[in-house]
Structure 1
Amino acid sequence: MTTETNVPLDCHTFTKIGYKALQSNKHYVLFLCILFVGAFTSTAQEQKVVPLTVKAVQDTIIAPLFLAPLESNGVVKDSVATDSLNQKPPLLLDKITYKAKDYVRLSQKENKIYLYNEAEIYYQDTELKAGVITMDYVKNEVYAGRLKDSLGNYTQLPYFKQGSQIVIPDSIRFNFDTQKAIIFNSRTEQQAAAGALGSDAMKVYAEVTKKENDSVYFLSEAKITTAEDTINPDYYIRVNKAKFVPKKKVIAGFSNIYIEDVPTPIFMPFAYFPLAVGRAAGVLMPSFGNDPNTGYFLQDMGYYVPLGDYADITFSGDFYTNGSWGMRAASVYTKRYKYRGNINFRYENQVRSQKGFSDYSLSKNYNIQISHSQDTKASPNSRFSASVNLGSSEFYRNSLQQRNLPNTQNNTLSSSISYSKTFPAYPSVNMSLTATHSQLTSPTAQEDNPDNITMTLPTLQTSMERIFPFAKRDGIKKGFIQNINFQYDLNAQNRLTTNDQDFLTSRMFDNARFGARHRIPISTNFKVAKFFSVSTSANYEDVWTLETFEQRFDPETNTVVRDTISGFDRFNQYNFSASVGTTIYGTFDFGEDKKIQAIRHIVRPSISYGYAPSFDQFYDQYLDGNGNVVEYTRFQGTLNGVPRLGRSNALSFSVANVLEAKVRDKDSTKLEAKKIPLLSNLNISSAYNFESDSLKLSPLNLNGGTTILNNKMSINFSANLDPYAIDNNGTRINTLNINNGGSLLRLTRAQTNITYSISSDMFGKNKDEEEEEEDPFDYVAQSGGRTDDLFGRADSFQDRPMDSKPDGDIENPRYGTKIPWNFRLAYTAGYNNRARENTFGNHSLMFSGDIELSPRWKVGGSSGYDFQNSGFTLTQLRFERNLGSFNMRFNWTPFGQFKRWFFFIGIDASILSDLKWENRSQPIRN
Structure 2
Amino acid sequence: MQTNIPNTLFCLVFTLFFSVVSHAQEIEDKSIPVRPERDSIAPAMPAQEITEQLEQQDTVKTDSIKKSQFLTDVVQYTAKDYMRLSPKQNKMYLYNEAKIVYGDMTIEAGLIIIDNARNEVYAYGIEDSIGDYTQKPIFTQAQRKVEPDSIRFNFDTERALVYNSRTQEADFNVKGMVTKRENDSVYFMKNVRFTTSEDVDDPEYYFYARRIKFVPDKKIVSGLVNMYIADVPTPLGLPFGYFPLTDEETSGFIIPSFGDSQYGYNLQNGGYYFAISDYVDLLTLGSYFTNGSYTLEFSSNYAKRYKYRGNARVRYEKLFNSERGFPDFSERSSYNIQWSHSQDAKANPSSRFSASVNLGSSEYYAESINQANQGNFLNNTLSSSVSYSKTFPGEPQINLNLAARHSQNTRTQQISLSLPTLQLSMSRIFPFAPAGGAKKGLFQNINLQYNLRAENQMNTTDSLFFKPEMFQDARLGAQHSIPLATNFKLFKFLSVSTGTSYQETWVSKTFERSYDPVIDDVVVDTINGFDAYRTYNFNASIGTTVYGIKNFGKDKKIQAIRHVMRPSVSYNINPGFDRYYDTYERDDPTTPEQIELVDYSRFDGTLYGAPGRQFSSSVGFSLSNTFEAKVRDKDSTATEPKKITLLNNFSISTSYNMAGDSLKLSPIALRGSIPIVKNKLDINFGGNLDIYALNNNNRRIDKLNIENGGSLFRLTSGTVNFGYAFSSKDFEGGDEVEEDELENETFRNGGRQDDLFGKGMGQDGELFEEDPFEGREEENESSWYNYKIPWDVRLAYSMNYTNSARQNDISAHSIMFNGNVELAPKWQVGVSSGYDLVNNGVTPTQLRFQRDLNSWMMSFAWTPFGPRKSWNFLIRIKANVLSDIKYEQRRAPDRQL
Asked whether the two chains share a fold, i.e. TM above 0.5, the reply is: yes
Quote the offset at 1:228 in angstroms: 1.4
Q: How does 1:710-725 map to 2 (within 5 A)?
A: 710-725=678-693
CA contact (8 A) 1:91 1:177 kept: no
Residues 1:414 and 2:383 aligned together:
yes
User: Partner amino acid for 1:225?
Assistant: T
User: Partner amino acid for 2:534?
Assistant: N
Aligned to 2:491: 529
CA contact (8 A) 1:313 1:330 kept: yes
User: Which structure has the larger Rg over C-alpha atoms?
Assistant: 1
CA contact (8 A) 2:818 2:833 kept: yes
CA contact (8 A) 2:373 2:758 kept: no
Quote the offset at 1:430 in angstroms: 1.1
TM-score for the superposition, normalised by structure 2: 0.88
Aligned to 1:573: 535
Distance 1:664 1:148, change over 3 A: farther
Aligned to 2:40: none
SS class of match (1:307):
coil
Quote the offset at 1:804 in angstroms: 4.5
Cα distance in structure 2, aligned partners of 1:405 and 1:326: 21
User: Partner amino acid for 2:385?
Assistant: S
Residues 1:651 and 2:619 aligned together:
yes
SS class of match (1:311):
coil
Deviation string, structure 1 residues 59-85 (Cα, Å, up to 9, x no partner): xxxxxxxxxxxxxxxxxxxxxxxxxxx
User: Partner amino acid for 2:310?
Assistant: G
Residues 1:222 and 2:192 aligned together:
yes
Deviation string, structure 1 residues 595-635 (Cα, Å, up to 9, x no partner): 43333222111000111222111111222202222222111
Cα distance in structure 2, aligned partners of 1:473 and 1:203: 72
Quote the offset at 1:913 in angstroms: 1.1
Quote the offset at 1:816 in angstroms: 6.9
Q: How does 1:336-485 map to 2 (within 5 A)?
A: 336-442=305-411, 446=412, 452-485=414-447
Residues 1:693 and 2:661 aligned together:
yes
Cα distance in structure 1, aligned partners of 2:426 and 2:355: 24
Cα distance in structure 1, aligned partners of 2:273 and 2:661: 72
Aligned to 1:873: 843
Q: How does 1:201-280 map to 2 (within 5 A)?
A: 201-280=171-250
User: Partner amino acid for 2:662?
Assistant: S
Residues 1:170 and 2:140 aligned together:
no
Cα distance in structure 1, aligned partners of 2:657 and 2:151: 97
User: Partner amino acid for 2:686?
Assistant: S
Equivalent of residue 599 in structure 1, options 554, 557, 561: 561
Distance 1:326 1:590, change over 3 A: farther
Cα distance in structure 2, aligned partners of 1:212 and 1:541: 83
Quote the offset at 1:493 in angstroms: 1.1
Quote the offset at 1:125 in angstroms: 4.7
Cα distance in structure 2, aligned partners of 1:774 and 1:178: 56
Percentage of pairs with the same residue: 52
Quote the offset at 1:555 in angstroms: 2.4
Distance 1:673 1:313, change over 3 A: farther
Moved more, 267-276 or 769-778: 769-778
Moved more, 295-304 or 500-509: 295-304
Equivalent of residue 126 in structure 2, options 115, 131, 147: 147
**Runs (5+) with no aligned partner, structure 2:** 1-64, 589-594
User: Partner amino acid for 1:383?
Assistant: R
Q: How does 1:752-901 map to 2 (within 5 A)?
A: 752-764=720-732, 767-774=733-740, 776-796=742-762, 797=766, 801-806=770-775, 809-811=778-780, 817-901=787-871
Cα distance in structure 2, aligned partners of 1:601 and 1:154: 78
Cα distance in structure 2, aligned partners of 1:130 and 1:700: 85
Cα distance in structure 1, aligned partners of 2:75 and 2:655: 94
Quote the offset at 1:675 in angstroms: 3.0
User: Partner amino acid for 1:771?
Assistant: V
Higher relative contact order (CA 8 A, sep 6+): 2
Quote the offset at 1:164 in angstroms: 5.1
Quote the offset at 1:382 in angstroms: 1.7
Equivalent of residue 738 in structure 1, options 699, 706, 711: 706
User: Partner amino acid for 2:455?
Assistant: Q
Quote the offset at 1:93 in angstroms: 4.0
User: Partner amino acid for 2:392?
Assistant: F
Quote the offset at 1:502 in angstroms: 0.3
Moved more, 575-584 or 858-867: 858-867
Cα distance in structure 2, aligned partners of 1:876 and 1:103: 67
User: Partner amino acid for 2:380?
Assistant: N
Equivalent of residue 286 in structure 2, options 303, 317, 322: 317
SS class of match (1:397):
helix
Distance 1:217 1:673, change over 3 A: farther
SS class of match (1:501):
helix
Cα distance in structure 1, aligned partners of 2:678 and 2:616: 46
Residues 1:513 and 2:492 aligned together:
no
Equivalent of residue 514 in structure 2, options 546, 549, 552: 552
Residues 1:727 and 2:698 aligned together:
no
Moved more, 804-813 or 691-700: 804-813
Aligned to 1:503: 465
Quote the offset at 1:578 in angstroms: 0.7
User: Partner amino acid for 2:216?
Assistant: P
Residues 1:307 and 2:286 aligned together:
no
Quote the offset at 1:299 in angstroms: 1.8
User: Partner amino acid for 1:217?
Assistant: Y
**Runs (5+) with no aligned partner, structure 1:** 1-86, 192-200
CA contact (8 A) 1:583 1:602 kept: yes
Cα distance in structure 2, aligned partners of 1:794 and 1:405: 7
Cα distance in structure 2, aligned partners of 1:647 and 1:163: 82
Quote the offset at 1:801 in angstroms: 3.1
Cα distance in structure 1, aligned partners of 2:135 and 2:113: 15
Cα distance in structure 1, aligned partners of 2:785 and 2:300: 50
Equivalent of residue 563 in structure 1, options 525, 536, 542: 525
How well do the aligned residues superpose, as a CA RMSD in angstroms?
2.1
Moved more, 827-836 or 498-507: 827-836
CA contact (8 A) 1:289 1:920 kept: no
Cα distance in structure 1, aligned partners of 2:140 and 2:509: 80
User: Partner amino acid for 1:785?
Assistant: G
Distance 1:255 1:807, change over 3 A: farther
Distance 1:437 1:402, change over 3 A: closer
Cα distance in structure 1, aligned partners of 2:470 and 2:457: 11
CA contact (8 A) 1:338 1:375 kept: yes
Distance 1:669 1:301, change over 3 A: farther
SS class of match (2:469):
helix
SS class of match (1:471):
coil
User: Partner amino acid for 1:776?
Assistant: L
Distance 1:89 1:484, change over 3 A: farther
User: Partner amino acid for 1:731?
Assistant: R
Moved more, 598-607 or 530-539: 598-607
CA contact (8 A) 2:759 2:767 kept: no
CA contact (8 A) 1:861 1:875 kept: yes
Quote the offset at 1:181 in angstroms: 2.0
SS class of match (2:281):
strand
Aligned to 2:579: 617
Distance 1:894 1:648, change over 3 A: same
Residues 1:923 and 2:885 aligned together:
no
Quote the offset at 1:124 in angstroms: 4.7
Distance 1:613 1:822, change over 3 A: same
Deviation string, structure 1 residues 128-171 (Cα, Å, up to 9, x no partner): 11111111233332111112111122322210134654210111
Quote the offset at 1:591 in angstroms: 3.4
Cα distance in structure 2, aligned partners of 1:473 and 1:786: 50
Quote the offset at 1:799 in angstroms: 6.0
Equivalent of residue 678 in structure 1, options 646, 651, 658: 646
Distance 1:252 1:523, change over 3 A: same
